[in-house]
Structure 1
Amino acid sequence: MKTIISALLLLSIFASSSTLVVGLVSCRPDQIQALTHFKNEFDSSDCNQTDYFNGVQCDNLTGVITKLQLPSGCFHGTLKLNSSLFGLHHLRYLNLSYNNFTSPSLPSGFGNLNKLEVLSLSYTGFTCQVPSSFTNLSQLSILDLSHNELTGSFPPVQNLTKLSILKLSYNHFSGAIPSSLLTMPFLSILDLYQNNLAGSIEVPNSSTLSRLEFMYLGLNHFEGQILETISKLTTLKYLSLSFLNISYPIDLNIFSSLKSLVMLDLSDNNLLESSLDSHSNIPLSLEDLVLLRCGLIEFPNILKNLQKLEHIDLSNNKITGKVPKWLWNLPLLRKVNIFNNSFASLEGSEEAFENSSVRYLDLAFNSFKGPFPKPPLPIILLSAWNNSFTGNIPLATCNRTSLTVLDLSYNNLTGPIPRCLSNVQESLVVVNLRKNNLEGSLPDMCYEGALLRTLDVGYNQLTGKLPKSLLNCSSLKFVSLDHNRLGDTFPFWLKALPDLRVLTLRSNKFYGPMSLPDQGPLAFPKLRIFEISDNNFTGSLPPNYFVNWEATSLQRNEDWRIYMGDYNNPYYVYEDTIDLQYKGIFMEQGKLLRSILTSYATIDFSGNKLEGQIPESIGLLKALIALNLSNNAFTGHIPLSLANITELESLDLSRNQLSGNIPKGLGSLSFLAYISVAHNQLKGEIPQGPQFSGQAESSFEGNVGLCGLPLQGSCFVPPTQQPKEEDEEEEEDQVLSWKAVVIGYWPGLLFGLVLAHVIASYKLEWFGKIVGPDKYKQVDPVRLFMTLDSRWDSFNNKNNVEQTKK
């Protein structure tokens, strides 16, 4: 009873939650105290205290800690040699993975925990060699040191005779693999992927037979003799030999003795061409065969013999001709990836997949022509983008009730979008029909319960208005309707979509005001990419237009990456694509963009008939990296609040009717790589600094009153003139007006409202009339994959800056 009371007392002191953590009830007070001392050795400000103690288990009889699993990303700091951790001698399970230990090396103190059965230290940042004290861990059955910066020769694990799982991948171990490793009595999983291991392995003369079932040796520097050794490991079921860097082609017949082999990965190796024909001897037990980037030029007929095959990956090869019809008749085939080859046709034409059991099919980036065949009946993912398929979208697509991802973009398909796609709304998550020749109106595809998250029909010939039924797709994140002939007013009603991140309406026939009298701020709180350029939108934008956006602060994932949608699952990853006017260059963003939904935002209102002042509330969008308001009729001064957008990389305000000076505060934007204020009514000296000195002269031309570099000539102000004081007063007025508007927007601050009203009443002369904007030419984009990543460094050079729109 006394033990329980002491435990609860300590828990109340060191845990932030008042909820009892059941695992600690049986712990001795000294053990909880040691655990708390360990926690206090690190910065654990990102750690939920309850989660920390939830990873603890104690023996019900002795009260000693037997299990410790830290929450991911919880600890930061140095794991010292005298850490309290190494005093927990009764630990049997220790998992410190995914924490940031800045220790100069892997501490030898782990060797004190000689009762450990499981030790996981992956993604912990440890460096240097594995200490010899690890030989004391004689009870270990699982050791995971993967994804660190460990060096030296192979770790001293040969004496750990109870090991069943050894994971050393993604480190810098060098030298040879000890031959005794193959005769360890319980070792079944060996993962050495991506190290600097070399040489070959000799199978020792021993009565103990290897029990290895999983072996991952890719991305090392082994010699060819290793294949002969592997062929003797007859218990193998899963074998990965990608990037072996062997000097001669691999003969698939060498694996004929591996009768239990289920998975074989030979990616990025050269294969002996004759061993790919139907007469070769390869394990008939294979279910998963990966031959990615193997330089294949012909379809491997060896697949015809693999009646148990479920997954084949032939992507990124150079195979030409037809895909044989017999492939689709393999009875258990579920996943086929032939992405990025040079296939010209499917044998069997429109009925090629008629009896196929395939569920995941990737035909993208080939040279397929002719009508698109009817999809396999059980299809879940169908990707065929960047081919030359013609004709209509098969109506049979609507009967594939498991269809989740439909990507037929970048083809030559014609006709209407089938209205019957609403039949698969209960499974359909992605519809991408971009860059075809589809016509007609956008059909109703969303009814109550629809799961659609991505709708991309850009670059077609669609007409009519947007169907209000889109509101039924409450999960929509990505809507791209650009480059069509849609004619409608701005869809303010889309604000009801709670998670809309991307909205592109560029180059259509949309018209009317972008702000309604009773609308107030633009109510799209999660929008990150807002693209409405080259339409006929009119009117002015109120000062508080951008106040409601959540793009006011940076929010990054732990790994600084996020995809456009949550489409990841064990079988596929779908990645959206978008094209932007960025740094003066019109381009399609593929792999060049990452993190954009989490960390950054872009706005493009160019090529419309918007007038009035640019809203000062634009300065609230701290995550904005690209802003394009060019080719409108905006008047007044450039907002001083732009200096608050510290992430801004591209700013285009050209071809408007802006007046006054260029704010000096823009010179403090350290990421600003492109700026254009050409063809306005600006005056005064161009601010000097690295953000301006590297710009082209064309970025400032067409402003009679502007002077200073990079324009020719210098600034000269006659002594009798005093424009500086007058300009400063105007800038002060803008700042006061802006602050009053922002303060006035927040509830309860009446004084701010009154001040905003008074100051704004003196600014009526800032509004002007508009003239039609010049249109600019656009470069046809090139399709790329898109994983969204930090900013586009490859476009930050001076050559790209020169490529401004004409």
Structure 2
Amino acid sequence: MNNTDCCSLDGISCDPKTGKVIELHLVVGFLSGTLRSNSSLFRLQHLQTMDLGFNNLSGILPDSIGNLKHLRVLSLGGCNFFGKIPPSLGNLSYLTDLDLSDNEFTGELPDSMGNLNRLKELQIGLNKLSGNFPLMLLNLSSLTLADLRSNQFEGMLPSNMSRLSKLVSFTISGNSFSGTVPSSLFMIPPLIELDLTKNDFSGPLVLGNMSSPSKLAKESISAHLTSLDVGRNRLSGKLPKSLINCTQLELLNVEDNRINDTFPSWLRFLPELQILVLRSNEFYGPISSPLSFLKLRIFDISGNRFTGVLPSDYFSGWSAMSSVVDIVDYDQRMFRGASYPTYQKSVGLTNKGSNMEVVGRGFTIYKTIDVSENRLEGDIPESIGLLKELIVLNMSHNAFTGRIPPSLSNLTNLQSLDLSQNGLSGQIPPDLGKLTFLAWMNFSYNKLEDPIPRGTQI
């Protein structure tokens, strides 16, 4: 087949002047078998883009990949490769985008990858890579995205992470990194997304340059930070108040740690906050002051030691849950105009009595309040009835008393309601049975009268 024939095929692009193949986009099932070191593919010396993602190319990635010295984009995600990543990748000095995610690569990253000084996006998540944090990555001064999630990396992160001065997204969830989180991570000016979940980090979370602890400079914090997820580690101490400088923050998740602090009421000064998850820590004390969370959609403080009475107007300033609000998905906005993937983020929640994870696009539509397993008391605030967009409400395992507010029947989108294990008394509002979407109710272990209303979904 001559070049003209080749260039007319789907997924193949050629230089209009020379006729040389410069791009291959053969994704999702076009190819199968093993890439041999003598494959004609590696003789395409003018190739600039090779995207073979999600083909069944099981086997070892041959050293011959290093022959394609003009490659700028190499995407081999989901191809069932195994074995070590070949050191010859370091020869691809023009490479700007490298995706080796969702394979079975093992061992450590080759030191030669430190030569890829034009690399902007590195995706090596969902493999079986091991060893300490690959220090050669700190040489990649152009790097904007680094995704190392779901591997077997361990040890401490280096203290000079701020050398990656152009980093926008850093994801290392699902590894075994330990020690303290280096404060230099929060001193990378363009950083937008930081995901450190499911590791073994410990100690307090410190933001910015603490050489002068008496005065934390505003400019030392990543002011553009939109998503901070440090859940499922062993972090302790207090939630750093310097987060108040992260005025673009939309997601804050510290679930399943050992943070010991009072309720961070100062978070109300973060105007973009949409998702707040403090569940399963050692927070304590009252949360009685009414808060105005204009964009909050997920509020989970379950499994702590919060106390006190919630005033009747507690939920009156929660605009996003009380009306239909057009909220742009932060993943979409974060990477608008860029080629970054909006990978599937998740937060653990309780819905209909079972633990679940809200994943990906679920963030944009899910609206939930979970204050269960605390020591809250007094009446359930009447203002809960203002939150007409609420889907899940869990106030179980507290010490609430008095009557169930009739205003709950205003929650026309409610799907799950759990008020069990409290001291509630009186009649269950019969109008709850008219809620069209309510599929699960639990009022057990209270002092209530009359039968549970039979809803349209029950």
Aligned 1:460-539 pairs, distance under 5 A: 460-516=233-289, 521-539=290-308
1:298 and 2:65 equivalent? no
Residue in 2 aligned with 1:443? 206
Q: Give the superposed CA RMSD.
A: 2.5
The residue number in structure 2 matching 1:587 is 356
Question: Could you tell me how far 1:565 is from its partner in structure 2?
Answer: 6.0
- 2:346 — aligned with what? 577
**1:454 corresponds to 2:227:** yes
1:346 aligns with 2:117: no
The amino acid that maps onto 2:71 is L
Query: 1:547: how far off?
Result: 0.6
Residue in structure 1 matched with residue 322 of structure 2 by the alignment: 552
Q: TM (normalized to structure 1)?
A: 0.52
Which among 391, 395, 415 is matched to residue 649 of structure 1? Answer: 415
Q: Counting strand residues as a fraction of each chain, which structure ranks higher?
A: 2
CA offsets 1:481-539 (integer angstroms, 9 cap, x no match): 111111111011111111111111111111110113xxxx3221211111100111000
- Would you say 1:383 and 2:132 are equivalent positions? no
Aligned to 1:284: 45
Which of the numbers 173, 176, 196 marks the counterpart of 1:412? 176
Deviation at residue 686 of structure 1 after TM alignment: 2.4
SS at 2:423 equivalent: coil
Amino acid at match of 1:433: L
Give the CA deviation at 1:283.
2.7
**Structure 1 residues 730-773: Cα deviation after superposition (integer angstroms, max 9, x where no partner):** xxxxxxxxxxxxxxxxxxxxxxxxxxxxxxxxxxxxxxxxxxxx
Q: Which position in structure 1 is the counterpart of 2:4?
A: 232
Kept after mapping to 2: 8 A contact 1:289/1:311 = yes
**How many angstroms does 1:235 deviate by?**
5.9
Which residue does the alignment assign to 2:383?
A: 617
Shift of 1:275: 5.8
- 1:495 counterpart SS class: helix
- Please report how far the alpha carbon of residue 564 of structure 1 lies from its aligned counterpart in structure 2 after TM superposition: 4.9
Aligned to 1:588, the other structure's residue is in SS state strand
The structural deviation recorded for 1:392 is 0.6
Q: Secondary structure at the match of 1:566?
A: helix
Alignment of 1:610-759 (within 5 A): 610-692=376-458
Q: AA paired with 2:347?
A: I
Any conservation in 1 of the 2:288–2:308 contact (CA below 8 Å)? yes
3-state DSSP class of the match of 1:386? coil
Instruction: Name the structure where helix makes up a greater proportion of residues.
Output: 1
Q: Distance in 2 between matches of 1:274 and 1:493?
A: 56
SS in 2 for 1:382: strand
Structure-2 residue corresponding to 1:330: 92
Asked if 1:372 corresponds to 2:162, the answer is no
Q: What secondary structure sits across from 1:691 in the alignment?
A: coil
Contact 1:459 1:484 in 2 (8 A): yes
> In the TM superposition, what are the counterparts of 1:144-159 in structure 2 within 5 Å?
none
Deviation at 1:270, TM superposition (A): 4.8
> CA distance change for structure 1 residues 589 and 528 in 2, over 3 Å: closer, same or farther?
same
Q: What is the aligned counterpart of 2:70 among 297, 308, 324?
A: 308
Shift of 1:277: 2.3
CA distance in 2, matches of 1:437, 1:486: 14
* Cα pair 1:500 1:526 within 8 Å, conserved: yes
Match of 2:333 among 560, 566, 573: 566
Give CA-to-partner distance per residue, 1:412-449, whole Å, 9 cap, x none: 0011101222331x111111111111011111138337
Specify which structure has the bigger relative contact order, considering alpha-carbon pairs within 8 angstroms and separated by 6 or more residues.
2
Provide Cα deviations, 1:71-91, integer angstroms capped at 9, x if missing partner.
Answer: xxxxxxxxxxxxxxxxxxxxx
Taking the aligned partners of 2:225 and 2:106, their CA distance within structure 1 comes to: 32
Q: Which one is further off, 402-411 or 443-452? A: 443-452
How many Å separate the matches in 2 of 1:472 and 1:563?
Answer: 18
Asked if 2 retains the 8 angstrom alpha-carbon contact of 1:353 and 1:373, the reply is: no
List alignment gaps of at least 5 residues for structure 2: 209-216
- Determine helix, strand or coil for the equivalent of 1:589: strand
Output one character per residue of 1:24-66: Cα deviation in whole Å (capped at 9) or x when no partner: xxxxxxxxxxxxxxxxxxxxxxxxxxxxxxxxxxxxxxxxxxx
Q: Runs of 5+ in structure 1 lacking a partner? A: 1-227, 242-254, 693-806
Is the partner of 1:624 in helix, strand or coil?
A: coil
Provide the secondary structure at the position in 1 that maps to 2:244. Answer: helix
Equivalent residue, structure 2, for 1:269: 29
CA contact (8 A) 2:32 2:55 kept: no
Is the Cα contact below 8 Å between 1:600 and 1:623 reproduced in 2?
A: no
Cα deviation per residue 1:189-227 (whole Å; 9 max; x = unaligned)?
xxxxxxxxxxxxxxxxxxxxxxxxxxxxxxxxxxxxxxx
Alignment match of 1:427 (pick from 181, 190, 197)? 190
Question: Could you tell me how far apart the structure 1 residues matched to 2:331 and 2:339 are?
Answer: 18
Q: How far off is 1:690 after superposition?
A: 3.2
CA contact 1:453–1:565 (8 Å) conserved in 2: no
Amino acid at match of 2:218: Y
Report if aligned partners of 1:567, 1:573 keep a CA contact under 8 Å in 2.
no
Counterparts in 2 of 1:272 and 1:515: CA distance versus 1, 3 Å: closer
Q: Distance in 1 between matches of 2:431 and 2:342?
A: 41
Question: CA, structure 1 residues 479+272, in 2 after alignment: closer, same or farther (shift >3 Å)?
Answer: closer
Q: CA deviation at 1:372?
A: 1.8
Contact 1:580 1:588 (8 Å CA) reproduced: yes
* C-alpha deviation, 1:260, in angstroms: 2.6
Q: CA deviation at 1:339?
A: 1.3
- Percent identity (aligned): 39
Per the TM alignment, residue 691 of structure 1 is displaced from its structure 2 partner at its CA by 3.1
Show structure 1 runs of 4+ deviating over 6 A.
Answer: none
Conserved? CA contact 1:259–1:283, under 8 Å: no
The change in CA–CA distance for 1:496 and 1:272 in structure 2 (over 3 A counts) is closer
Q: Letter of the aligned partner of 2:357 in structure 1?
A: E
Give the secondary structure class of the aligned counterpart of 2:184.
helix
Quote the residue 2:212 is aligned against: none
Q: Which residue of structure 2 aligns with residue 363 of structure 1?
A: 124
Q: Which string of whole-angstrom CA distances, capped at 9 and with x for unpartnered residues, describes residues 681-715 of structure 1?
A: 111122234333xxxxxxxxxxxxxxxxxxxxxxx
| 1:390 Cα offset (Å) | 0.5
Shift of 1:292: 1.2
